[in-house]
């Protein structure tokens, strides 16, 4: 397939559109959240305060980094969170008759004005166990937010990460277009995929609605059906085209036939090898789009034509392309200018879910820990701060979690960093730069930070990835990025672990 792109200005591409998806509302949740809210309310816990961490346990796609995405959608959800009259009526009809009517009055009065949200900037690289969002506020309210916040972060971050991996595989000079709408998990999945594939580094989408809503450049080729719809040159009802520079009227059909004859002689092939119907389709499409002509030629064996001027055409390749395909083509020295990627990108076939979780880490000022026989599922208790420590070369060394009562690490000062669960894994770090990862994004019912547009988030993805060493980003056997805890948090975690673990008895 060959495409000659039209030129678009930067102003065409940049829009600061912060509209919210209408399906994101309080009832976009699991029923057990509503049930728990009632049980909390019934037992008098509606005045309890809690802290929850939203995080994931393992990087996707056998890689060692993840792109955090979906924060703006979470904030917009908090901004509009309110149960409508129809919501309350539906819950009255759905929940057991034993539920007290006063609970529904309580639900109708709930807002998020008493919730605080600390978060990492959207578009940053993030790693397992590090909270992406920390929610601090009324227990019942935050519990009701859980499922929606997870669905907004999980898929967005997964697609953005997948797109970033494609971008790294393709390099900066190759164009990447997202063609996945028809293969996505429903219309909302298609829109989300288009938005966050762009965040992750894709140059455009075939999804017209995503272009309108998010300001993403929209690109389109044509299908086999267009070519197949023509059977002969007699179907060309419009044959003329004005010359771009002189304005002179030309008969494109006559010009094309003349060139076909010349090329047949030059290439030493029979004119009968050329289909009149396909030629008619190409002529008609060129007349319709004289400055953005596209020719779908994957039914032709173009490799047998040794023509120098072929190298001046832009080649767009598509056909179930995945990350490994691009890497293999790179090794073969391909001359492709653009990849159109659909199924493997939007469905994230290598890993269909990121696995973010939402865990209680503090209740009424008391730290909480979740224990498990699987050590990776043991939570890091209490409200925490997180810092990214950088070396003198500008690369990130480690993400360090510590208790909020501790002093922040300082540049040039040695700090002991420990693996949260493995006692022997520890190291001193003297950072050349210290970056606080959490910002207060939500307080008093209002967004507290200026929200970037998609272009700015895209730039942040690129900049953040550049802070990682290449061995963390390589496709094969990447080096794990270190996430650690301070010595104080390590000891606090393990003391609390022992306090909560039942003592066995041998007989």
**DSSP three-state, residue 360:** strand
Sign of the four-CA dihedral 40, 43, 47, 49: negative
> Looking at residue 7, what is its pLDDT?
41
**DSSP three-state, residue 135:** strand
3-state SS string for 243-280: CCCCCCEEEHHHHHHHHHHHHHHHHCCCHHHCCHHHHH
Greatest Cα-to-Cα distance within the chain, rounded to the nearest angstrom: 101
| pTM as predicted | 0.92
For residues 354 and 66, the answer to whether their CB atoms sit within 8 Å is yes
Q: Please give the Cα distance from 36 to 135 (Å, whole number).
A: 18
CB atoms within 10 A of CB 384: 25
For residues 203 and 175, the answer to whether their CB atoms sit within 8 Å is yes
How buried is 487 (Cβ within 10 angstroms: 0-12 exposed, 13-18 middle, 19+ buried)?
middle
First to last CA, the chain: 74
Q: Going residue by residue through the chain (507 aa), what tens digit of pLDDT does each one get?
A: 344 344 444 344 444 455 667 789 999 999 999 999 999 999 999 899 999 999 999 999 999 999 999 999 999 999 999 999 999 999 999 999 999 999 999 999 999 999 999 999 999 999 999 999 999 999 999 999 999 999 999 999 999 999 999 999 999 999 999 999 999 999 999 999 999 999 999 999 999 999 999 999 999 888 889 999 999 999 999 999 999 899 999 999 999 999 999 888 887 888 888 889 999 999 999 999 998 787 887 656 666 666 777 777 888 888 889 999 999 999 999 989 999 999 999 999 999 999 999 999 999 999 999 998 888 899 999 999 999 999 999 999 999 999 999 999 999 999 999 999 999 999 999 999 999 999 999 999 999 999 999 999 999 999 999 999 999 999 999 999 999 999 999 999 999 999 998 888 888
- Quick one: tokens of 351? 């890993």
Strand-strand pairing, 433-436 and 439-443: unpaired
How buried is 430 (Cβ within 10 angstroms: 0-12 exposed, 13-18 middle, 19+ buried)?
middle
Alpha-carbon separation of residue 381 from 58, 115, 366, 369, 405 (angstroms)? 19, 19, 9, 5, 13
Q: Please give the Cα distance from 112 to 442 (Å, whole number).
A: 9
For residues 130 and 386, the answer to whether their CB atoms sit within 8 Å is yes
> Looking at residue 298, what is its pLDDT?
67
Alpha-carbon separation of residue 245 from 282, 293, 425 (angstroms)? 22, 17, 70
Strand-strand pairing, 396-403 and 482-486: parallel
Q: Closest Cα to residue 178, out of 194, 167, 192?
A: 194
Q: Please give the Cα distance from 19 to 23 (Å, whole number).
A: 12
The alpha helices in 114-235, defined as continuous H runs, are 139-170, 186-200, 208-214, 224-228
Strand-strand pairing, 482-486 and 133-138: unpaired
Give the contacts of 144 (CB within 8 A, at least 6 positions apart): 26, 29, 33, 34, 37, 110
> Looking at residue 300, what is its pLDDT?
61
> Looking at residue 16, what is its pLDDT?
43
């Amino acid at each position: 397939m060959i495409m000659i792109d039209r030129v678009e200005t930067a102003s065409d591409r940049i829009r600061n559109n912060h509209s919210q998806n209408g399906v994101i509302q309080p009832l976009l949740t699991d029923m057990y959240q509503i049930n728990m809210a009632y049980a909390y309310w019934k037992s008098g816990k509606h005045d309890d305060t809690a802290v929850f961490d939203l995080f994931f346990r393992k990087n996707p796609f056998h890689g060692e980094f993840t792109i955090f995405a979906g924060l703006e959608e979470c904030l917009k959800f908090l901004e509009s969170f309110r149960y409508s009259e129809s919501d309350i009526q539906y819950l009255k009809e759905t929940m057991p008759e034993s539920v007290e009517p006063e609970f529904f009055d309580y639900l109708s009065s709930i807002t998020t004005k008493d919730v605080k949200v600390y978060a990492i900037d959207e578009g940053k690289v993030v790693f397992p166990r590090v909270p992406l969002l920390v929610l601090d506020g009324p227990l019942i309210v935050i519990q009701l937010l859980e499922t929606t916040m997870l669905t907004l972060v999980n898929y967005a971050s997964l697609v953005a990460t997948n797109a970033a991996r494609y971008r790294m595989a393709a390099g900066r000079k190759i164009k990447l277009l997202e063609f996945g709408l028809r293969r996505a998990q429903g219309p909302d999945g298609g829109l989300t995929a288009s938005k966050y594939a762009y965040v992750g580094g894709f140059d455009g989408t075939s999804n017209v609605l995503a272009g309108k809503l998010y300001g993403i450049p929209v690109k389109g080729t044509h299908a086999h059906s267009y070519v197949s719809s023509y059977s002969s040159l007699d179907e060309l009802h419009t044959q003329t085209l004005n010359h771009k520079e002189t304005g002179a009227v030309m008969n494109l059909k006559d010009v094309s036939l003349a060139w076909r004859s010349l090329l047949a002689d030059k290439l030493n092939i029979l004119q009968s090898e050329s289909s009149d119907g396909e030629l008619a389709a190409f002529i008609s499409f060129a007349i319709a789009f004289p400055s953005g002509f596209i020719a779908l030629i994957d039914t032709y064996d173009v490799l047998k034509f040794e023509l120098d001027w072929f190298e001046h055409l832009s080649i767009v390749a598509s056909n179930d392309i995945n990350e490994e395909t691009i890497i293999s083509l790179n090794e073969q020295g391909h001359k492709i200018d653009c990849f159109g990627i659909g199924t493997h990108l939007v469905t994230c076939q290598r890993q269909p879910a990121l696995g973010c979780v939402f865990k209680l880490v503090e209740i009424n000022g008391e730290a909480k820990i979740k224990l498990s026989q699987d050590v990776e599922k043991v939570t890091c208790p209490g409200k925490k701060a997180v810092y990214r420590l950088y070396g003198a070369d500008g690369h990130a060394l480690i993400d360090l979690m510590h208790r909020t009562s501790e002093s922040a690490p300082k540049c040039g000062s040695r700090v002991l960093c420990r693996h949260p669960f493995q006692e022997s894994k520890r190291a001193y770090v003297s950072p050349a730069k210290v970056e606080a990862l959490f910002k207060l994004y939500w307080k008093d019912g209002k967004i507290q930070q200026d929200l970037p547009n998609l272009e700015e988030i895209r730039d942040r993805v690129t900049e953040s990835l550049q802070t990682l060493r290449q061995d963390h980003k390589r496709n094969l056997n990447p080096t794990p990025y270190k996430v650690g805890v301070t010595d104080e948090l390590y000891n606090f975690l393990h003391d609390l672990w022992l306090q909560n673990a039942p003592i066995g008895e041998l007989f």
